[in-house]
Amino acid sequence: MVLNSTFAAAARTVLEDVKQPMTTRELFDEIMRRELVTVRGKTPYATLVSQLYKQAQKDKAEIIRVATEGPQRAQRGTVRWALYKTRR
């Protein structure tokens, strides 16, 4: 077992293994099941969400947000996270 220092690194590990988009809850559950991070705070799920959105905003983001867009933001229940395959 490789212990990652951040949720973003752990999410990348899981997405590389699974090879398909996952919801935030699926990612979180899999990271916890594999014990890829040491949880220190009171809101680890919120930490994962924050780190995923920060990763997706980078110029050459490896983790991207896939969603069906609504009038102002993504439609409820459509957000998935995936690896951008050509950016390494």
Which CATH architecture fits 7-83?
Orthogonal Bundle (1.10)
Which whole-number Å values give the CA distances from 40 to 3, 46, 81, 85, 86, in the listed order? 14, 13, 24, 31, 34
Q: Record the pTM.
A: 0.83
42 pLDDT band, cuts 50/70/90, is very high
Q: What is the pLDDT of residue 87?
A: 46
Q: Are 14 and 31 in contact (CB under 8 A)?
A: yes
Domain range summary for the chain, segments of one domain joined by +: 7-83
Average pLDDT of the chain is 87
Q: Which of 15, 10, 50, 59 is nearest to 34 (CA)?
A: 10
What is the mean predicted confidence (pLDDT) over 2-28? 89
Gap between the Cα atoms of 63 and 74, Å rounded: 17
- Give the torsion sign (CA, 24, 27, 33, 37): negative
Q: What is the pLDDT of residue 3?
A: 62
